[in-house]
Amino acid sequence: AYNFSAGPAMLPEPVLRRAMDEMLDWHGSGMCVAEMSHRGKEFMSIAEQAEADLRELLAIPDGYKVLFLQGGASTQFAMVPLNLMGRGEGADYIKTGSWSKKAIAEAKRFGAVRIAATTEEDRFTRAPAQDELALDAGSAYVHYTPNETIEGVEFPYIPDVGERPLVADMSSTLLSRPIDVARYGIIYAGAQKNIGPAGLTIVIVREDLIGAATEQTPTMLDYRTHAESGSMYNTPPTYAWYLAGLVFQWLKDLGGLSAMATINERKAAALYAAIDASDFYANPVEPGSRSWMNVPFTLADPELDAKFLAEAKAEGLLTLKGHRSVGGMRASIYNAMPEEAVQALIAFMQEFERRNG
């Protein structure tokens, strides 16, 4: 079966098989990784290898810390303003869909939030162009959501924000393609899409942005706490960290993020082409802003939605129901989704249209 869930999502089968092989006795240690002390030499070696592999995959330059945290991307919605708001007069946020709206609502609790651009009047069907961004001279930082998981809208460019730190919620796009980390102040992502299982949050933070949290900031929400302790101030999500490490090794074996990007681009192009070729299916997003990872689509007759989902499930095509806020369908096609799965989905969609169109 192929699971098109937006997250938690499919993990690469070789990763799951390896985790199964190592489940009862990791490398002769006599322990499952979930049983290990996070400060023991076995887990420390797993943690260090995972970080080294992630740094290699993303070509993370010197001067950035990589943190392995808990709390999900949603906790970063608060942690970012708590740590950065003090650097300027409020912050600029780009509003492109459901997740950036949540980030904005949370940031407002900690300081002034200006909307640098919004596509709400277009019902979040596109990314704003660079010349639409109205950035304030005194901004502490600029926040955006490169890939809106629910609306299926992805920025085709990195916003130019001058000297201001650029903060990106990459929950549903990190590791889908190479990125220029040096353009960012902070990148964060919940792991449960392209990285590993739920419970782990990756934060890549430029070192000069660490250490300016407001005085009331809880210890656990201060980047400095985690940067100074190698993400071991308290017990980290050890098993999720280990599984993420296996995913990083799988990506390296595959040829890294350029190789992954080629496959992802092909998968997305095939699915959008199938949708565009039909009057039975539709995707509302402007072609230049379409997500490689999350492909929402509607059926011409919503009365057929339940039938579509039931028949897809019977074919082993699982969790295609769209987010409750937008309805319709959504196919999340993260790294672990094989190309043949996308082809199977397209074949099913065409056959369903032939019988019901």
* Residue 172 near ligand PLP by CB under 6 A: yes
| 74 touches ligand PLP (CB under 6 A) | yes
238 binds ligand PLP (CB under 6 A): no
Q: Does the footprint of ligand PLP cover residue 151 (CB under 6 A)? A: no
Stretch that binds ligand PLP, among 33-41, 165-173, 212-220, 268-276 (CB under 6 A): 165-173
Task: Decide if 226 contacts 219 (C-beta within 8 A).
Answer: no
- Select which of 53, 92, 169, 222 is catalytic: 169
DSSP class of residue 321 equals B
The single residue of 99, 241, 250, 292 carrying the catalytic annotation is 99
Does the annotation list 241 as a binding residue? no
What kind and span of H or E run contains 21?
Answer: helix 13-21
193 a catalytic residue: yes
Does 99 count as an annotated binding residue? Answer: yes
What are the CA-CA distances from residue 94 to residues 133, 171, 206, 292 (Å)? 8, 16, 21, 20
**Nearest one of 145, 201, 178, 168 to 57, comparing CA atoms:** 178
At 294 the three-state DSSP class reads strand
Q: Which of 51, 92, 154, 169 binds ligand PLP (CB under 6 A)?
A: 169
For the chain, strand residue ranges (E) read 2-3, 64-69, 91-95, 113-118, 142-144, 147-148, 153-154, 166-169, 186-190, 201-206, 281-282, 294-299, 317-318, 329-332
Within 10 angstroms of residue 33's Cβ, the number of other Cβ atoms is 21
Candidates 46-54, 166-174, 253-261, 342-350: pick the segment binding ligand PLP (CB under 6 A): 166-174
292 is catalytic: no
225 annotated ligand binder = no
Nearest approach, Cβ of residue 74 and ligand PLP (Å): 3
171 binds ligand PLP (CB under 6 A): yes
- The verdict on whether residue 76 carries a ligand-binding annotation is no
21 in active site? no
Q: Could you count the other beta carbons within 10 Å of the beta carbon of residue 20?
A: 9
Q: What is the length of the chain?
A: 357
Residue 130 CB coordination number (10 Å): 13
Q: 247 Cβ partners below 8 Å, 6+ apart?
A: 11, 12, 15, 194, 195, 196
Q: Applying CB under 6 A, what is the total number of residues that bind ligand PLP?
A: 11
The reply, when asked if residue 169 is annotated as ligand binding, is yes
Q: Is 7 in the site for ligand PLP (CB under 6 A)?
A: yes
Please classify residue 197 by burial: count the beta carbons closer than 10 Å to its beta carbon, then call 0-12 exposed, 13-18 middle and 19+ buried: buried
Instruction: Report in angstroms how near the CB of residue 129 gets to ligand PLP at its nearest.
Output: 21
Q: In the stretch 108-137, what mask flags binding to ligand PLP with x, by CB under 6 A?
A: ------------------------------
Q: Cβ closer to ligand PLP: 74 or 356?
A: 74
Tell me how far apart the alpha carbons of residues 195 and 230 are, in angstroms, rounded to a whole number: 19
- CB nearer to ligand PLP: give 73 or 299: 73
Among the options 65, 193, 267, 321, which is catalytic?
193
- Which of 11, 19, 69, 72 contacts ligand PLP by CB under 6 A? 72
Query: Is 219 annotated as a binding-site member?
Result: no
Around 110, how many Cα atoms within 13 Å sit in the side-chain half-sphere? 24
Among 88, 159, 165, 190, binds ligand PLP (CB under 6 A): 190
Between 51 and 151, CB nearer to ligand PLP: 151
* CB proximity list for 327: less than 8 A, separation 6 or greater: 298, 302, 305
- As measured in angstroms, the least distance from the Cβ of 73 to ligand PLP is 3
DSSP letter (8 states) at residue 218: -
The contact set with ligand PLP (CB under 6 A) reads: 7, 72-74, 99, 145, 149, 169, 171-172, 190
- Which of the residues are catalytic? 99, 169, 193
Annotated binding site for L-glutamate: 39
